[in-house]
Chains A and B, each alone.
Chain A
Amino acid sequence: MPVFKAPFNGYSVKFSPFYESRLAVATAQNFGILGNGRIHVLELAPGAPGVTESVAYDTADAVYDVCWSESHDSVLIAGIGDGSVKIYDTALPPPSNPIRSFQEHAREVQSVDYNPTRRDSFLTSSWDDTVKLWAMDRPASVRTFKEHVYCVYQAVWNPKHGDVFASASGDCTVRIWDVREPGSTMIIPGHEYEILSCDWNKYDDCILATSSVDKTVKVWDVRSYRVPLAVLNGHGYAVRKVKFSPHRRSLIASCSYDMTVCLWDYMVEDALVGRYDHHTEFAVGIDMSVLVEGLMASTGWDELVYVWQQGMDPRAS
C-alpha cells in the first residue's frame, strides 16, 4: 500500500474532495516543537511506491493542519504554528504561493476545516482559545468565537447544516455553535480530560464523536447530551483524532498516541472492528476518502504517510 516518507514529522492528512488520487499532508520539523514546516501534495499512482509528491510548500513554522477548499479544486488552507493561516493554490507556480497569509491568531493554529455545504468559508481553531470564521475573499476573519478557556484543538462544520459547527477544547468541553447566534448554542462537558478532536456523523446530523486524553472516543447525540450514546475504549493513550466515515453510518476511525489507528462501529456491542499498528511513532493524522469508499490515510510522527483500503494491511506493498 502506498507509503510516503516525509522529511518532517506528520501532523495531518486530508484527501482532496475533487480528485480521488490526491491528498495533502501537513508536517512539522522536530515533532512540531521547534523548526519549520512543510505541506506536501501527494498523488496516488498505480505501481510502487504508489505515492508521489506533486508539490511541496515550506513554511517558517510547523504546519499543524491542512484542508482542501470545497469551492476550488486546487486550493488548500494550512494552519501554522506561528498563528498564521495560509492559503495555497496548487494551480499556480510555487513562487506565487502562499496566495494569502492571515495573521490573526495569537497562538498556534491547531485545525482548519472548510465548510462542505456553503463552500464559501472555513474555520480555524487555535491554542489562543478561539475559533475564527473566514471567507476566502475577505482580508480578515469574519468572526471570532471566544468562549473556550483553553486550547481549541479542533473545529468541525456540521455536514448538513451550513451554519453549525462543533469545537473541541482542552477545557474538557465541546461547544456547538451556530454562526448566526451570538454565542455557543450548546456546551457538552464530554470528558474529564482534554478533548482533542471531534467529528460529526455524516448521515445523522445530531451525532457527534469526541476523542480525549482519557483514551476514549465517545459518541454523543446532541439532543440528549448528558449521557453519551457510546464510550469506545481500546486505545492505550490519548486519542488524537477521530473521524466519522463518509460511507458507513456508524463507522468511526481514530488515531492515538498509542501509535495505532482503530476502526469502530459504535452501534455494535463489541465496537472495535479494526486496529492498524503500522506507525512506529504517535499516529496523529487520519482521513477517510469521500470519493473512494474504504480508502483511508494516516500519518504520524514517524514521518510516514500511509494510504490503504480498510481491511487490508497498510504496510502491504
Chain B
Amino acid sequence: MERAMERQKILLRHLNPVSSSNSSLKHEPSLLSPVNCVSEVSPMAAFGDDIVIVAAYRTAICKARRGGFKDTLPDDLLASVLKAVVERTSLDPSEVGDIVVGTVIAPGSQRAMECRVAAYFAGFPDSVPVRTVNRQCSSGLQAVADVAASIRAGYYDIGIGAGVESMSTDHIPGGGFHGSNPRAQDFPKARDCLLPMGITSENVAERFGVTREEQDMAAVESHKRAAAAIASGKLKDEIIPVATKIVDPETKAEKAIVVSVDDGVRPNSNMADLAKLKTVFKQNGSTTAGNASQISDGAGAVLLMKRSLAMKKGLPILGVFRSFAVTGVEPSVMGIGPAVAIPAATKLAGLTVSDIDLFEINEAFASQYVYSCKKLELDMEKVNVNGGAIAIGHPLGATGARCVATLLHEMKRRGKDCRFGVISMCIGTGMGAAAVFERGDSVDNLSNARVANGDSH
C-alpha cells in the first residue's frame, strides 16, 4: 500500500509541482528498502584512476637463523618476489616506474644497494629505479602506500611496493634501540623510544589488563589457523616457491632446496605448553617467546597501477587501494597503534570499522593484538583468519607487503561478501599504520569498455 501511495504522490507532483527548488524533491524515507541500502554503505564507485593491485606475492616466512632461508641472502629473497609479480602478469619489466622496498634493520645505504642488485637479479633493466623506505614494522605497507601515492601524483604509471627482511643476516637489538644521544634521557618520551619492544608489550598488557591466558589463547589460535591454512593448500596462491640453498651448521654441506611453506607454524601449539614458557622481558610479566611474533626471514611484493591501465592491459584486478593512515601514539605502549590507525584509515576511505569484512592485524605481541581487537570490538572470525605473525613470523620490513598478498588472496576466495579489508600494524617508537583495500571485482565494472579512438564503432 505504501508503494501505491508513493506512486500516487509522484504522479500528483507532476500535476501540482511542489516548488522550483531542486533540493525539496526527495523520496519518502520509509520506502528505502534494505536491499537498496547495501549499495549505500559506501560511496565507492569504479573510476579509471583508482589505484589497483594486479598482483601480490610473498615468499614463505621462515624462522631466522634456523629456518629455510637462514642461508639465503636478502637480495636473492627480494629478487624472487620482484620477478614473480612481473612474470605472472606478463608485464614488461621496463614499464615499471619505481620499486619501493620496505626494509628495517640493515644499514640504509647498504640495503638500498642490495635492493638495486635484487632488481637486476629479477631481470629489471637499468631504467627502472629502486628505493627503500623505513617506518619500522610498517615499512612493507608504507612502501605500497608510497607507490599508490606516487601513481596518483602522476610520477609514474606502474609501481612495485615490496618488503624484505632477513633477520638471519641482520639482528634486531635485543636490548632495545641503541641510544647514543644522552639528551634522549632527559625527555621521557624520547627515552621510551629506546625501550625494547617486549617491554612495550608488557606495558600494554599491564595498562590495559590483557592477561597471560588471553595472550596464550591468541597464540594458540594463530598457530591453529595458520596450520589449517597450510593444510588446506590455499596459501599456494600467494606463496612463490624460492629455490635456494641451505648449509648444514655442522658439516657445512650445502644442499639445494625449494622453500614454499611457512616453517614457523606449530600445529600442535596448546595452552599447556605455552603456560610453561618463562616471561622474557619482565619477571611475573606476561610476554613470552610463545605469545610474541617470531623473528623471521621473508619478502613480499605488490604490483600497482591505475585501473584504466590494468583494464587496457587486460590484467585482473586483485584489489583496490582505498586509503592509508599512520598515526602516532605513546612510544611506551606502541602496541596500541592499530586501535588508533584502523579507525583513521577507514574514515579516510569513507567507511566505518564495522564496514570492514576482513582484517590482517600484525601480531607483534599477543598483548597488543588482543588489546587492539578488543578496543575496536572486532569480530575475531574476521581477523587473521589464516593465522598471524605469532605463528607465521614477522620479517619486519616484509610484513606489510606480505599481508597485502595474504589479505587480497583471502578476500578473493571469500567472494562478494568480503568487500573491504584492512591491514594494520603497530610500529616501534610509537605509531600505528593501517590501509583499507577493496576486493578487486566487487565494484561495478564495465568490461566492454574500450579505449576511445575517435570512432566508437
A interface, CB within 8 angstroms of B: 31-34, 81, 106-108, 117-118, 120-121, 127-129, 133, 135, 141-144, 146, 149-151, 161-163, 170-173, 179-183, 189, 192-194, 196, 213-214, 237-238, 240, 257
Q: Mark B1-35, 1 if CB is under 8 A from A, else 0.
A: 10110011011011101001010011100011101
A182 to B47, CA, bound (A): 5
> Please, which residues of chain A bring their CB within 8 A of the CB of B450?
180
A157 to chain B, nearest CB (A): 12
Establish whether residues A163 and B46, one from each chain, have CB atoms under 8 Å apart when the complex forms: no
The reply to whether B457 and A34 form a contact with Cβ atoms under 8 Å apart is no
Interface residues of B in 327-363 (CB under 8 A from A): none
Q: Chain B's nearest CB lies how many Å from the CB of A65?
A: 15
- Tell whether, in the assembled complex, residue A194 and residue B20 are in contact, meaning their CB atoms are under 8 Å apart: no
Instruction: Let me know if B48 and A194 touch, CB within 8 A.
Output: no
Contact A182 B456 (CB under 8 A): no
Whether B446 lies near A106 (C-beta < 8 A) is no
Q: How far is the CB of A160 from chain B (nearest CB, A)?
A: 9
Which residues of chain B are near A173, meaning CB under 8 Å?
Answer: 22
Q: Is B445 positioned at the interface, with any CB of A under 8 Å from its CB?
A: yes
Check if B444 sits within 8 Å of A144, measured CB to CB.
yes
Q: Known interface pairs A146-B45, A238-B15. Does A170 touch B448 (Cβ–Cβ under 8 Å)?
A: no
16 other A-B residue contacts (CB within 8 Å) besides A106-B35, A129-B27: A81-B7, A108-B7, A117-B457, A118-B456, A133-B446, A135-B448, A143-B445, A149-B22, A150-B27, A170-B13, A171-B22, A172-B25, A180-B450, A180-B452, A192-B20, A194-B13
Complex contact B14–A213 (CB within 8 A): yes
Indicate whether A171 sits within 8 Å of B25 (C-beta atoms), given known contacts A151-B10, A193-B17: yes
The interface residues of chain B lying within 8 Å CB-to-CB of A149 are 22, 25-26
Let me know if B39 is at the binding interface, CB within 8 A. Answer: yes
Residues in A neighbouring B283, C-beta threshold 8 A: none
Q: Is the pair B446, A32 in contact by a Cβ cutoff of 8 Å?
A: no
- In angstroms, Cα B76 to Cα A270, docked, is 82
| Chain A residues within an 8 Å CB radius of B110 | none
Whole-angstrom CA separation of A56 from B90 in the bound complex: 54
* Docked complex Cα distance between A146 and B33 (Å): 16
29 examples of A-B residue contacts, CB within 8 angstroms: A32-B7, A33-B8, A34-B1, A34-B7, A106-B36, A107-B31, A117-B457, A120-B448, A142-B445, A143-B444, A144-B444, A149-B26, A151-B27, A162-B456, A162-B457, A170-B10, A170-B13, A172-B22, A179-B446, A179-B449, A180-B452, A182-B45, A182-B47, A182-B48, A189-B22, A193-B20, A196-B14, A238-B14, A257-B14
Main secondary structure of the interface of A (DSSP, over half): loop
Residues of A near B36 (CB, < 8 A) are 106-107, 128
Interface residues on B, range: 35 or more
Q: Tell me which residues across on chain B come within 8 A of A81, comparing CB atoms.
A: 7
Complexed CA–CA distance, A33 and B240 (Å): 61
Given A33-B8, A34-B4, A194-B25, A142 contacting B446 (CB threshold 8 A): yes
Tell me the minimal C-beta distance from B175 to chain A in angstroms.
53
What is the distance, in angstroms, from A151's C-beta to the closest C-beta of chain B?
Answer: 7
Q: Is B447 an interface residue (CB 8 A)?
A: yes
In Å, the complex CA distance between A238 and B448 comes to 38
| Chain B proximity of A219: nearest CB distance (Å) | 21
Q: How far is the CA of A34 from the CA of B33 in the complex (A)?
A: 18
Residues from chain B with Cβ under 8 Å of A32 in the complex: 7
Task: Provide the residues of chain B in CB contact with A135, threshold 8 Å.
Answer: 448
**Please, which residues of chain A bring their CB within 8 A of the CB of B447?**
142
C-alpha gap A99/B17 in the complex (Å): 39
Closest A-chain residue to B49, C-beta based? A182
Of B4, B17, B448, the most chain A CB neighbours within 10 A belong to B448
**In whole Å, how far is B32's beta carbon from the nearest beta carbon of chain A?**
8
Chain A residues with CB under 8 Å of B456's CB are 117-118, 161-163
Among residues of B, the one whose C-beta sits closest to the C-beta of A135 is B448
CB distance from A63 to the nearest CB of B (A): 14
CB contacts (< 8 Å) of A128 on chain B: these are: 36
Q: Are B10 and A127 in contact (CB under 8 A)?
A: yes
Residues in chain B near residue A172, CB distance under 8 A? 22, 25
Q: Are B45 and A194 in contact, CB atoms less than 8 angstroms apart?
A: no
A151 (CB) vs chain B CBs: closest residue: B10
Which residue among B15, B31, B456, B457 has the maximum number of chain A CB atoms within 10 Å of its CB?
B456
Residues of B contacting A179 in the complex (Cβ-Cβ under 8 angstroms): 446, 449
Shortest 10 CB-CB distances between A and B: which pairs? A106-B36, A182-B47, A192-B20, A34-B4, A238-B14, A172-B22, A150-B25, A143-B446, A162-B456, A193-B17
Please give me the residue from chain B that is nearest to A103 by CB atom: B35
Contacts of B3 in A (CB 8 A): 34
Nearest A-chain residue to B446, judged by Cβ: A143
Give chain B residues whose Cβ lies under 8 Å from the Cβ of A121: 448
Assembly CA distance A163 to B27 (angstroms): 30
Tell me if A180 and B449 are in contact (CB < 8 A): yes
CB neighbours of B49 from chain A (8 A): 182
Q: Point out the residues of chain B lying under 8 angstroms from A150, CB to CB.
A: 25-27
Contacts of A193 in B (CB 8 A): 17, 20
Report A258 CB to chain B, min CB distance, Å.
10
- Alpha-carbon distance A2/B263, docked complex (angstroms): 82
Q: Which residues of A contact B15 (CB under 8 A)?
A: 237-238, 257
Residue pair A33, B48 in contact (C-beta under 8 Å): no
Residues of B within 8 A of A238 (CB): 14-15, 17
Given A182-B45, A182-B48, A213-B17: A33 touches B25 (CB 8 Å cut-off): no
Nearest chain B CB to A281's CB is how many angstroms away?
Answer: 13
CB contacts (< 8 Å) of B45 on chain A: these are 146, 182-183
Chain B residues with Cβ below 8 Å from A214 are 17
Q: In angstroms, how far is the closest chain A Cβ from the Cβ of B173?
A: 49
